[in-house]
A and B are shown apart, each in its own frame.
Chain A
Amino acid sequence: MGVDVRDISGLIYRGIREVKGSILVLDPIPNVLYDEVVRVRAPDGIDRLGRVLEVSKDYIIVQVFGEESGLQTDTVIKFTGSTFEIPVSDDVLGRMFNGRFEPIDGMGPIASRDKRDINGEPINPKARIHPNNFIQTGISAIDGMLSLVRGQKLPIFSESGLPHNRVAAQIARQATVLGEEEEFALVFAAMGLKNDEARFFIDSFKLSGAIERSVVILNLADDPAIERLVTPRIALTIAEYLAFELGYHVLAILTDMTNYCEALREVSAAREEIPGRGGYPGYMYSDLATIYERAGIVRGKPGSLTQMPILTMPAGDKRHPIPDLTGYITEGQIILSRDLDSRGIYPPINVLPSLSRLMRSGIGPDKTRDDHKDVADQLYDAYSRGLKARDLARIVGEMGLSDRERLFLKFADVFERKFVNQGEYENRSIDETLDLAWEVLSILPPEELVRVKEETLEKYYYKAKHPEA
């Protein structure tokens, strides 16, 4: 009767007092460590991983990461005596794992004595090197106005139905650091992704040849939700190893962080914690920070870790706790817009609420081009004026606009169609992007371009305005 445990070595315990969703409450057991990993076997015979969330002289609380249906009070538990660790080695490149780091590509597990706690350790702020290497993604809206640098964490805020996967795949395909041959190693972590979405990424990596230097970790929509709490941490542990031990420049794509946060909320509810905004726990900020802050460049270590998390904003609302807390931690955000998408603009990046906080250190005379800062500033200004004119035109009609407003309106249209809009396989160099920006800006008279220095105007504006001269 009960659970068959003949194949498990060491001490096992059967003392479950209560099962609350994925949370187990146990009678006290000596020598159980806070944060220790446990193996949980329910009567269904399936093994799950778990972790000690709280331990006291009166009870122990265990969080189970696997399938929660099937958990019963006659579940047995084995305490491992260590925190959640995974083996690391360069054999991970080209491999595919599930969300618990078990191989799903038919090859054996990673064998290595070198083990790392998946929670990692905080990078000492003084040991960070402030990132400043421009990454050319070939996408004008990003390179021109939201420049990404190596070691940055820059998320995509999207909505369901928008092409965030295509944008992320395009970035993964095209990202290069100017003047360097070396390509990025990719760490791809899926949390609750649909099968076809995951397929799309893998196919895209295969097509571009990136699969050889990729690690794919998949927790799919039909995989246990709670497992999503460990999936990004496993991915980042690998990414850190590749970056800071082996010297790779790593791009980590984490998608969809919304599913991660929902798993976090589920656990919090099961623990009957005081819910915060939207039911998400009050510590979600700190929890997300332990994921997002695992990006950067570290003094005395080769390589770099750049993060591109993707999240879908519930109800398209940027103020929803998930995008909100993310934006408070990450170094900017790329926001996709349904409006642009429905007008056929790809990538549908709404540049105004988007931001790259590290842009200014990655661009300029010896990095991209001397006019880059001014151009970006001017595009923001002109486009926001253009959108205001567009709003006004909806009320008073285009004829009711002043000449100046009409000009800005035209600018906004051309900016969206020519500058933002581009092909999914179109890879524009930064020079092409900036030249295109001038072409679009030349719609406006020079006296409207007050965010551009006069010398810069002299150097680029007139050439763009009269290309034949």
Chain B
Amino acid sequence: MREGEVIRIAGTLVVGTGIPDITIGEVVEVGSEGLIGEVIRIIEDTFAVQVYEPTSGLKPGDPIKGTGKRLVAELGPGLLENIFDGVGRPLEDLIKASGPFIKRGIKAYTLPRDKKWEFKPTVKEGEYVSGGDIIGEVQETVNTVHKIMVPPDVSGKLLEIAEGEYTVTDVIAKIETEEGIIKELTMMQEWPVRVARPIAPDGRLSLDTPLITGQRVIDVFFPVAKGGAAAIPGGFGTGKTITLHQLAKWSDADIVVYIGCGERGNEMAEVLTDFPELKDPRTGRPLMERTVLIANTSNMPVSAREASVYIGITIAEYYRDMGYDVSLMADSTSRWAEAIREISGRLGEMPVERGFPAYLPDKIAEFYERAGRVKALGKPERVGSVTIVGAVSPPGGDFNEPVTIHTLRFTGVFWALDPDLAYSRHFPAINWLKSYSLYANQILGGFVGSFSMYRQELFNWWKSVQSDFNVYRDKAMEILTTAAEVESIARIIGEKSLPDDQRLLLLTSELLKEGFLRQNAFDEVDTFSEPEKSALLLKLIIDFHHMVEKVIKKRIPIDRVIDLPVVAKIKRVKFDPRRVEAILEVAQEAREELLKLAEEYRVEVEI
């Protein structure tokens, strides 16, 4: 064991000396309690350590031990349904060790050591295996088969392979490498969290499938691709966390990794209360079964906040490598960036913007680069993806600040949260004029393609309307954009003085906002909007718009249309538990009411 000593303590930053061969990224144990830290700088014969636990009571002269290891994630069965802190310790183990309040110096493994898993080999002795190859399977949860893979840097002839019940540290296979060395494999592997896991050569694939989130404004207007990256910046209370929760609940990913980075403890408690109760709409199984949670709340050590993001993305990549679509939510990446800033400040580094070090953009880029849709390393061939959704918490809600600006450079989707929408309780408060998705054109076909996914019986009918979907979407966006201009005029002269065709724009935009864009996360029915419901709602409103257009051309006053009972129904139908059937019914009523109105005025309209 290489041992040195502490020479300086300033908060979570500890400086040590006396280990000449120490390396950057090496994990060290500090003080008599062996507090875990990571070497982040080497300056001549001293080295700076960020310690992942409170450092009170340390003093110069205390021992520092080098472990020779980098900060790694333990990867293997047992990650799902679990909640870990920023350095990968199961929170339940911390409770067992120190009760409900976290004491320091507790050691705990990420993966349970005593639990036995039923291992089924998928390869035979004598075969040649190399990095990334799947050699066996474990049923991790009811719906998730955990593929046991050869670690990326190992290859050789399979000498032995086991079958049956084993723990993650039992040897389940032996491999003879080309150099004739025997390597023992377990179901668990370790991977340094700051390094992206390798993929097949030329394995980066184009993004062509949408992540279906069940949130209308996202799925229809600003979709994110599987393997893409999205940023959701907004001041406090504008809906970052709830949106991320909604995505973690309803998106059609196989695996969800949710990182609570420097945010509220009660929000993690809420996830822990809700997720086991909620059912995945596709599998009917509790959502928790496909979820991994990482919690490093705002009152937990800042340095572990920095690490939590890397642990999370490494776990996400690992499931991607099995061939799964993984989505990762990080709430909030700003707290991670601030942790970087705080550590940099303690190191006395030169800040460039708002106290952030010059390498902030690189760190942000590296993180979002780990998203992607890829061909995994090894046999059999498989495709997996990691989608990253990062919340950004700009100071004062002002997007003109380094973390927001740099995040937008490296992400393809921008969901701009708007405080005015939030104040009037229009949620999700995603501003439809400011947001964008660079993936929209290449993936919207996939959205339409997924219609049948949830309701087989509607499939044929859908095929007939599919081609119109983009037309509807574009029309809706056009109406919303023009209506915003009309609104600003109305704000000066009053709505009453506008011509009827402009008032129709206001009416339709109101219907779109109220009946379509607004989606209450806490409404039992509307919390999840399946693709066909979203598309049909859009169709209902746009069709109505076109019909009314014809009606008012015949000089029927728009006020009469506004007073039609169906107008309130269009706004409310999203809450109807009969879902698409109810929408089809309202569409019918809309047509009938307009025809009746025309009749009353003795005019003929073709609608």
Is B truly associated with A? yes
Instruction: State whether A55 and B266 are in contact (beta carbons under 8 Å apart), knowing that A122-B102, A381-B424 are contacts in the complex.
Output: no
CA distance A194 to B586 in the complex (A): 62
When chains A and B are docked, how far (Å) is the Cα of A405 from the Cα of B491?
12
* CB pair B236 A324 closer than 8 Å: yes
Select the stretch in A166-174, A210-218, A296-304, A420-428 that faces chain B: A296-304
Is A70 engaged at the interface, CB distance under 8 Å to the other chain?
Answer: no
A126 touches B491 (CB 8 A): no
Q: Is B341 touching A282 in the complex (CB atoms < 8 A)? A: yes
| A319→B397 CA distance, assembly (Å) | 7
**Taking the complex as formed, is A30 at the interface, i.e. its CB lies under 8 A from any CB of chain B?**
yes
Of A198-206, A286-294, A337-345, A461-469, the one touching chain B: A286-294
Contact A274 B345 (CB under 8 A): yes
Given contacts A83-B57, A125-B260, A285-B298, are A384 and B424 in contact (CB under 8 A)? yes
The answer to whether residues A294 and B299 also contact, given A126-B272, A273-B345 and a CB cut-off of 8 A, is yes
Q: Which residues of A contact B8 (CB under 8 A)?
A: 54-58
Known: A36-B57, A282-B345, A324-B396. A124 touches B571 (CB 8 A): no
* Shortest distance between the CB of B278 and any CB in chain A (Å): 14
Residues of B within 8 A of A301 (CB): 100
The answer to whether A34 touches B9 (Cβ under 8 A) is: yes
Q: When the two chains form their complex, are residues A355 and B237 in contact, meaning their CB atoms are under 8 A apart?
A: yes
Given A328-B236, A381-B424, A360-B522 contact (CB < 8 Å): yes
A13 at the interface (CB under 8 A from B): no
**Chain A 376-392 near chain B by CB (<8 Å), digits 1 or 0:** 01001100110000011
User: Is B216 among interface residues, defined by CB-CB distance under 8 A?
Assistant: no
In the complex, what residues of A have CB within 8 A of residue B145's CB? none
Q: B423 to A299, Cβ gap below 8 A? A: no
| 1/0 contact string of A96-112 vs chain B (CB within 8 Å) | 00000000000000000
Report the Cα distance A331→B241, complex, angstroms.
Answer: 12
Count of A-B residue pairs with CB < 8 Å: 228
Once bound together, how far apart are the Cα atoms of A40 and B84, in whole Å?
A: 42
Q: Which residues of B contact A131 (CB under 8 A)?
A: 266
Q: Which of B7, B297, B341, B565 is close to A122, meaning CB atoms less than 8 Å apart?
A: B297
- Assess whether A115 is interfacial by the CB under 8 Å rule: no
Instruction: Please give the distance in Å from A61's CB to the nearest CB on chain B.
Output: 8
Count class of interface residues, chain A: 35 or more
- Check A380 against B298 for contact (C-beta < 8 Å): no
Is the beta-carbon distance between A450 and B514 smaller than 8 angstroms? yes
Q: Mark A442-468, 1 if CB is under 8 A from B, else 0.
A: 000011001001100000000000000
Q: Are A296 and B265 in contact (CB under 8 A)?
A: yes
Chain B 52-82, CB within 8 Å of chain A: the 1/0 string? 0011111111000000000000000000000
Chain B residues 423-457 with CB under 8 Å of chain A are 423-425
B358 at the interface (CB under 8 A from A): no
Contact B60 A276 (CB under 8 A): no
B149 at the interface (CB under 8 A from A): no
Residue of A nearest to B265 (CB): A125
Binary interface profile of B, 1-29, with partner A (CB < 8 Å = 1, else 0)? 00000011111000100000000000000
Smallest CB separation, A444 vs chain B (Å): 12
Contacts of B270 in A (CB 8 A): 130, 361
Give residues of chain B (205-258) contacting chain A, Cβ–Cβ below 8 Å. 235-237
Q: Produce 1/0 per residue, A317-339, CB < 8 A to B.
A: 00111001001110111000000
Are B100 and A123 in contact, CB atoms less than 8 angstroms apart? yes
Choice from A57, A285, A392, A396 contacting B335 with Cβ under 8 Å: A285
- Taking a contact as CB atoms under 8 Å apart, the answer to whether B522 and A401 are in contact is no
Given known pairs A276-B354, A299-B100, A384-B423, the reply for A125 and B268 (CB within 8 Å) is yes
C-alpha spacing A128/B396, complex, angstroms: 29
Residue B103 CB within 8 A of the other chain: yes
> Is the pair A277, B272 in contact by a Cβ cutoff of 8 Å?
no
| Alpha-carbon separation in the docked complex, A152 to B395 (Å) | 23
Tell me whether B170 is interfacial, beta carbon within 8 Å.
no
Given A395-B492, A450-B568, A450-B572, A126-B298 contact (CB < 8 Å): no
Q: Are the CB atoms of B83 and A56 closer together than 8 Å?
A: no
Q: In the complex, what distance in Å separates the CA atom of A454 from the CA atom of B525?
A: 14
Q: Tell whether, in the assembled complex, residue B522 and residue A33 are in contact, meaning their CB atoms are under 8 Å apart.
A: no
B273 at the interface (CB under 8 A from A): yes
**Bound-state Cα–Cα, A332 to B236, Å:** 9
Q: B485 near A: Cβ within 8 Å? A: no
Beta-carbon contact of B342 and A286 below 8 Å: yes
Given the contacts A122-B300, A277-B395, A35 and B522 also touching, CB distance less than 8 Å: no
**Contact yes or no, B55 A35, CB < 8 A:** yes
Q: Give the residues in chain B near A360, CB-CB below 8 Å.
A: 522
* A to B CB contacts below 8 Å, 20 in the list: A35-B56, A56-B9, A119-B56, A122-B101, A123-B299, A124-B91, A125-B91, A152-B266, A273-B345, A274-B345, A275-B355, A282-B355, A289-B297, A300-B100, A319-B395, A324-B396, A355-B237, A384-B423, A447-B568, A454-B572
Having A283-B302, A329-B298, one finds 12 other A-B pairs with CB under 8 Å, namely A122-B102, A125-B297, A127-B99, A276-B354, A289-B298, A290-B299, A293-B264, A319-B396, A328-B393, A402-B494, A402-B495, A450-B572
Residue numbers of B with Cβ under 8 A of A are 7-11, 15, 54-61, 83, 91-92, 94-95, 99-103, 235-237, 260, 262, 264-266, 268-270, 272-273, 295, 297-300, 302, 335, 338, 341-342, 345, 351, 354-355, 393, 395-398, 419, 423-425, 490-497, 514, 520, 522, 565, 567-568, 571-572, 575
